[in-house]
Amino acid sequence: MGLQRRFHHARLLAALTFASILMTLPFSASVIARDFRDAVNEAVGILGKSRPGGAGSRENQQAVITLVTAGEKSLQPLLEGFRDATPEGQNWLRNTFEQVADRILQSRKSLPASILEDFILNGSNNSAARRLAYETLLRQDPGLSKRLIPSMLMDAGQEFRRDAVMMLLDQAESADAADAVSLYRRALSGAVHSDQVGKIADRLRQAGEEVDISRHFGFVTEWKVVGPFDNREEKGFAIAYPPEQEVESANPFAAEYEGMTGPVNWQQLVSNDDYGVVDIAKQLENFKGSLMYLTTTWVSPVKQSLQIRLGTPNAWKLWVNGKQIFQREEYHRSTRMDQYVVPVELNAGGNQLVLKLCQNEQTQDWAQKYQFQLRVSDAAGAGVLQGQAVAQNVYAEEELR
């Protein structure tokens, strides 16, 4: 009897234990899943916050191990982590993503195609992360480009735009004349790279069409200039002549100053160049060992985050609304469009841009340029004209290039 009771108790205990396990299983699984998600998100957060200077690299390495161990489930969080990541953090996230993707593909498993494709197609996601997802998925699905790229002509990511423009150019090259013009016009609407824009403009002009390249890129072509001031021995770069003192004190500019060759006044300077080049040497004079101040007002309908893109072989300083945003003391080491990219916050209404441009006294043929080209763009490099507001203000995605 005692044995029977003990057996009965044992059966009851076993049944209760089993029942309790069954009852807690969903709870345990959800706890584990939540802990797992938390661990993945925490690791992504650690990588995304990577700071300049290399600090925290050991902690980052631990986070990478967590994410690589999590495998496929970490792919989407890694991509989403790009949004708030520092530039260093984006590189950590990218490297971890590549490690996970490589392991999946090397083990002959499939990448989560629908998750990645959805991420790519969501234009509000970080452009670099979308491009990473796209190029990774392309390894598994070579047909992806034909499916996705044609709709990316106005994408926030400049690489997607480039691919879309290239597809249209290919079509245009084999189209009849009327269709070709239409295709080139369409391609031009999305083109942000100078080589593609130049090629399209050539084709359209050959077809008798008018193309305003300067307007397309958003070059600022109308300036007021005053100078020359003394920059002999390159000393003027560091000297704050009166216009510079006035821009920093927010006082209105005086009408006349004492320059290096006598009194100087503000005068109008307009560029008719396709690429917005304002050429001091040709339009005024190549005053050796001099510097000029140039100013313009750029009107924005709203407060917005944009980029100022500058190209010049001369030393320069740039102020926006009285605040110096960058300076560079380098002479005649080449120039090109978009040589310097500076993120700016522009106010609603008029924004005052002031440029200090310095020429030195080098005598070589290749050291005679005294010029600049300046435009306003969005993060993808598309030109923004005065009076325009851009839909996406994502300048933080692209650091000073």
Partner 1 sequence: MNRFILGTICFNVALLSGLETCAAGDWKQFRGSYSNSVAGSENLPVELSGSTIAWKAELPGRGLSGPIISGSEVFVSSSSGFFQDRLHMLCFDSASGEKKWHRQFSAIGRTMTHEKMANATPTMATDGKRLLAFFSSNDLICTDLRGRLIWFRGLGSEYPNASNSLGMSSSPIIVHDVAIVQVESDAEAFACGIDLATGETLWRLNRPRAANWTSPTAIVTRSVKSSLVLLQSSKGITAVRPADGSIAWNFEGGAATIPSTTVSDGVLYVPSNGVTALKVTAEGVEEIWNAANLSPSTASPVVYNGQCLVLNSSGVLSSGRIADGDRVWQLRLRGPFSSSPVVSGGHLYAFNESGTAFVVRLEQERGTIISELDLGEQVLCSPGVGDGALFVRSDQHLIRISRPE
Binding residues vs partner 1 (CB under 8 A): 50, 52-55, 57-58, 60-61, 64, 87-88, 90-92, 94-96, 98-99, 102, 128, 158-159, 162, 193, 195, 313, 326-331, 333-336, 339-340, 399-401
Task: Select 298 or 372, whichever has its Cβ closest to partner 1.
Answer: 372
What is the CA angle 328-291-236, rounded to 5? Answer: 70
CB of 223 to partner 1, least distance (A): 22
Task: Select 74 or 158, whichever has its Cβ closest to partner 1.
Answer: 158
Task: Select 80 or 88, whichever has its Cβ closest to partner 1.
Answer: 88
Per the structure block, which two tokens stand in for 376? 């306003």
Task: Select 26 or 142, whichever has its Cβ closest to partner 1.
Answer: 142
Please report the beta strands in 208-284, taking only residues with DSSP state E, as ranges in sequence order: 222-230, 256-259, 262-265, 267-270, 278-279
CB 351 within 8 A of CB 297: yes
DSSP-derived 3-state class of residue 182: helix
Per the structure block, which two tokens stand in for 30? 């959800």
Q: What are phi and psi of 132, to 5 degrees?
A: -60, -45
Q: What are phi and psi of 323, to 5 degrees?
A: -110, 125
CB of 351 to partner 1, least distance (A): 22
CB 343 within 8 A of CB 400: yes
CB of 353 to partner 1, least distance (A): 20
Which residues, at least 6 apart from 273, have a Cβ–Cβ distance to it below 8 Å?
Answer: 214, 279, 373
Task: Select 130 or 300, whichever has its Cβ closest to partner 1.
Answer: 130
CB atoms within 10 A of CB 199: 17
> Of 242, 278, 266, 267, nearest to 357 (Cα)?
278
CB of 34 to partner 1, least distance (A): 28
CB of 15 to partner 1, least distance (A): 50
Task: Select 141 or 159, whichever has its Cβ closest to partner 1.
Answer: 159
Question: Which stretch of DSSP H or E encloses residue 61?
Answer: helix 57-70
**β-sheet with 278-279: strand ranges across:** 278-279, 371-377, 304-311, 340-346
Task: Select 305 or 335, whichever has its Cβ closest to partner 1.
Answer: 335
Rounded CA separation 346/233 (Å): 35
CB of 376 to partner 1, least distance (A): 18
Task: Select 11 or 336, whichever has its Cβ closest to partner 1.
Answer: 336
CB 112 within 8 A of CB 75: yes
CB of 367 to partner 1, least distance (A): 12
CB of 136 to partner 1, least distance (A): 10
